Structure 1
Amino acid sequence: MPNKIKPIAIYLPQFHPIPENDEWWGKGFTEWTNVVKTKPHFEGHYQPHLPADLGFYDLRLEETRLAQEAMAKEYGIYGFCYYHYWFNGKRMLYEPLDRKLKNQQEDLPFMMCWANENWTKTWDGLDKEVLLHQEYDFKDDTAHIQHLISYFKDDRYIKVDGKPIFIIYRPSFFPDIQKTIAIWRTAVKEAGFPDLYIGYSQNGMAQYEPKIKVFDFAFEFQPNALNMPAKISHPRTFVEKAIRRIKKKIKVKVADLHYYIDYSVFMSQQIENGFKKNVYPGITPMWDNSARRKENPFILNDSTPAKYKTWLSHIKENYPWDSVPEQFLFINAWNEWAEGNHLEPCQKWGTTYLEVTKEILK
């Protein structure tokens, strides 16, 4: 049993207009634009997800960010993990975090995760209809880490033994991840830190098991049950049962959250048996990206606070916490509204997901 779990909620800094989105999607576009237009695809499908307590906010506003942090603190969230967007020196969606840095009233701890994908019209980070290419070179690695160090120096930035945490979303995209991380570690040490505490997300699009141990940790990016490692023997029946296709105008992939709870139990057992070390647990309250993906969305149907509570309780009681140096639990996400994936209160569930989180992790 851990002494005190530190829930880290993944945070999308998207909800404000930017010139690029104005050009690509229309004047004033934010993801609220897609959220409010979403329709149910089948009977019982919960859509649209509409915000309750915080409303359709603009993250440029100090009042909005302070309200988010106050809510996070009230329900026991330790910190936010901000998505970070960097394209060879061009930054995107940076204003919310930059404004936080200038305002000491926004004192919730934070870390950063580089969403190192192409910026595409299909929202999958791959090569279809690319708007901004994600390219890599060692000169840019140096410029990038110098930029990041300005955030690492902030007292609110989350560190492990003095080492700032930084996460890569898609490490398999790098041509030479070993050299990149070596450049970063050297720069961070020269800036006065003992080292960098660097991790990556184990996500469903590309599981990454580095042959060279250049990372300090990974975390389970949930939902991820469809990408279980093939090299271990396990029953696949719950995955096979979970997926069905509903043929309408588009193909909709649907799974019940119950099966993901089974998956979490199974993977925890593998970690306990020595399959993995330094892997932090992850959880999602719900998932439905049909607002963002007009074709082939993935839906965790019939997600409820009760099922989330079961999953969260299992993680607290059974996860091999001694396999990780800290007690971080990554919750995906705080405010991914276009993925139907949010702790923030919605008009259907109110603050119930937050209440469950506080109850179980108190």
Structure 2
Amino acid sequence: MSRAPAPEAAPRARAIAFYLPQFHPTPENDEWWGRGFTEWTNVAAGTPRFKGHGQPHLPADLGFYDLRVPETRQQQANLARAAGIEAFCYYHYWFKGKRLLNRPLDEVLGSGEPDFPFCLCWANESWSRAWSGREHDLLVQQSYEEADDTAHIAWLCSAFQDPRYLRVDGRPLFLFYMPEKLPDATRLLAQWRSESLRQIGVEPHFCAVQTGFSTRDAAGLRALGFDGVVQFEPNRKHFPTPKNAAGRAVSLLRRVLPEGWYDALRNNSRLGRQNISTVVDYASYVDERLAGCALEDTTYPVVFPSWDNSARRTAATIIENHDAGQYRRWLEDAIRRVAPRSAEQRLVFINAWNEWAEGCHLEPDRRHGFAFLDATAEALGSR
């Protein structure tokens, strides 16, 4: 008697978690924010804005860690691997040859540990006192020069050659967080492809990150020369109707005021200094995304377990979620969307591994424990 064939397993996705290297003191942060400042300073100061608001977010198993400690970086890699995550995507901060928050990655590169894949996302924004509502007060200006572009790609090629560096179809994966900030993206990409081919024998797989601030759609970003597009979430353009009256007012102002006027109002008026938070229902947000259009090839989805930047900002965006099942159904949908692609192209990004001050982390916390890591593992089929 013959047996029916076992059902085929769903194609596995390549899950990549964004990784914030902020959790260690630096001379610059000491100067700007006070001696000993790290992201934990903001996290621990979080307070509830309304009844039932889940602030502060407090770490569980890993504690208030310091990313200068090798054992911490190894524990993070162990947890991520157990959940089926393939790689971390480190935010990379480059300002005319000066790198900030670079020590954790430098130690990963120098030591060869942890043995866990990674890639980079250039967070090519100027730094300001935006956390305190003073976006106009610049700390580090982002600027672009052709000579600096040459130095930058030379440094990147050294990182691309690390055997752990994540590749797509044999090409190092590199993201630009604000692609439209580049004065001439097409020229830069061509220069970097040529230099990379000359230095390490392969062109990178360049991806533009499409955020709520993007003015181009995915096709428009590809027209600049990018190989792929990462659809970053949360994205204000995808918000369902906010749950609270202040949030609905903010949404209306953003729609009716000319571009930039709302930000000027928020930054410079008495109104802007008030607690004008936008509260969005997470399940409704997920419903909106599940009903979205099919993804074009080389457009990669992003999901997030929760979002709450009230520990950082007065005018906060709160999309908190205490149901790991809601996150899991969104992640499973993203996996289904990339399943028809070749194995190398099944990229799904998770925002984020450790954005604690944005209430957006897979690392275990005191309220949810391992719930979101377990949901990740179940969706990715690693358990």
Check whether TM > 0.5.
yes
Residue 57 of structure 1: CA displacement?
A: 0.3
Instruction: Tell me, yes or no, if the aligned pair for 1:279 and 1:323 is still in contact at 8 Å.
Output: no
Query: For 1:153 and 1:90, how far apart are their aligned partners in 2?
Result: 21
Residue 221 of structure 1: CA displacement?
A: 1.1
Query: For 1:3 and 1:126, how far apart are their aligned partners in 2?
Result: 46
Match of 1:189 in 2: 197
Q: Match for 1:141 among 144, 149, 174?
A: 149
Q: Does 1:159 align with 2:167?
A: yes
Residue 266 of structure 1: CA displacement?
A: 2.6
Query: For 1:57 and 1:143, how far apart are their aligned partners in 2?
Result: 33
Instruction: Tell me, yes or no, if the aligned pair for 1:265 and 1:314 is still in contact at 8 Å.
Output: yes
Q: Match for 2:341 among 301, 313, 322?
A: 322
Residue 213 of structure 1: CA displacement?
A: 4.2
Q: Does 1:219 align with 2:230?
A: yes
Match of 2:265 in 1: none
Residue 324 of structure 1: CA displacement?
A: 8.9
Residue 263 of structure 1: CA displacement?
A: 2.3
Query: For 1:125 and 1:204, how far apart are their aligned partners in 2?
Result: 19
Letter in 2 for 1:304: D
Query: For 1:284 and 1:167, how far apart are their aligned partners in 2?
Result: 18
Q: Match for 1:33 among 27, 32, 41?
A: 41
Q: Does 1:66 align with 2:74?
A: yes
Does the C-alpha gap of structure 1 residues 243 and 329 become closer, same or farther in structure 2, counting only changes over 3 Å?
farther
Instruction: Tell me, yes or no, if the aligned pair for 1:278 and 1:324 is still in contact at 8 Å.
Output: no
Query: For 1:96 and 1:79, how far apart are their aligned partners in 2?
Result: 15
Residue 172 of structure 1: CA displacement?
A: 0.8
**Deviation per residue, 1:26-60 (Å, 9 max, x gap):** 00000101111110000111100000000000000
Give 4+ residue runs of structure 1 displaced > 6 Å after superposition. none
Q: Does 1:257 align with 2:282?
A: yes
Unpaired segments of 5 or more residues in structure 2? Answer: 1-8, 250-272
Match of 2:61 in 1: 53
Residue 170 of structure 1: CA displacement?
A: 0.3
Residue 302 of structure 1: CA displacement?
A: 3.9
Does the C-alpha gap of structure 1 residues 157 and 34 become closer, same or farther in structure 2, counting only changes over 3 Å?
same
Match of 1:112 in 2: 120
The range that moved more, 118-127 or 82-91, is 118-127
Q: Does 1:292 align with 2:315?
A: no
Instruction: Tell me, yes or no, if the aligned pair for 1:119 and 1:125 is still in contact at 8 Å.
Output: no
Match of 1:169 in 2: 177
Residue 138 of structure 1: CA displacement?
A: 1.3
Instruction: Tell me, yes or no, if the aligned pair for 1:8 and 1:80 is still in contact at 8 Å.
Output: yes
Instruction: Tell me, yes or no, if the aligned pair for 1:80 and 1:109 is still in contact at 8 Å.
Output: yes
Letter in 1 for 2:228: F
Query: For 1:323 and 1:162, how far apart are their aligned partners in 2?
Result: 13
Unpaired segments of 5 or more residues in structure 1? Answer: 229-237
Aligned length: 346
Q: How does 1:278-289 map to 2 (within 5 A)?
A: 278-289=298-309
- Any idea what SS the aligned residue of 1:240 has? coil
Query: For 1:78 and 1:118, how far apart are their aligned partners in 2?
Result: 30
Letter in 2 for 1:146: A
Q: How does 1:96-111 map to 2 (within 5 A)?
A: 96-111=104-119
Letter in 1 for 2:237: N
Residue 249 of structure 1: CA displacement?
A: 4.2
Residue 207 of structure 1: CA displacement?
A: 4.7
- Any idea what SS the aligned residue of 2:112 has? coil
TM-score between the two structures when normalised by the length of structure 2? 0.85
Residue 123 of structure 1: CA displacement?
A: 4.3
Residue 124 of structure 1: CA displacement?
A: 9.9
Q: How does 1:278-357 map to 2 (within 5 A)?
A: 278-293=298-313, 295-319=314-338, 321-322=340-341, 326-357=345-376
**Deviation per residue, 1:175-226 (Å, 9 max, x gap):** 11111111100110001332110001111232533362400001121112x2
Query: For 1:242 and 1:2, how far apart are their aligned partners in 2?
Result: 36
TM-score between the two structures when normalised by the length of structure 1? 0.90
Residue 317 of structure 1: CA displacement?
A: 3.2
Match of 1:234 in 2: none
Instruction: Tell me, yes or no, if the aligned pair for 1:9 and 1:77 is still in contact at 8 Å.
Output: yes
- What do you get for the CA RMSD once the two structures are aligned? 2.2
- Any idea what SS the aligned residue of 1:280 has? strand
Match of 1:240 in 2: 241
Query: For 1:73 and 1:329, how far apart are their aligned partners in 2?
Result: 15
Q: Does 1:180 align with 2:199?
A: no
Residue 122 of structure 1: CA displacement?
A: 0.6
**Deviation per residue, 1:136-193 (Å, 9 max, x gap):** 1111111110011110010000112221111000011111111111110011000133
Does the C-alpha gap of structure 1 residues 327 and 90 become closer, same or farther in structure 2, counting only changes over 3 Å?
same
Instruction: Tell me, yes or no, if the aligned pair for 1:200 and 1:215 is still in contact at 8 Å.
Output: yes
Letter in 1 for 2:234: P
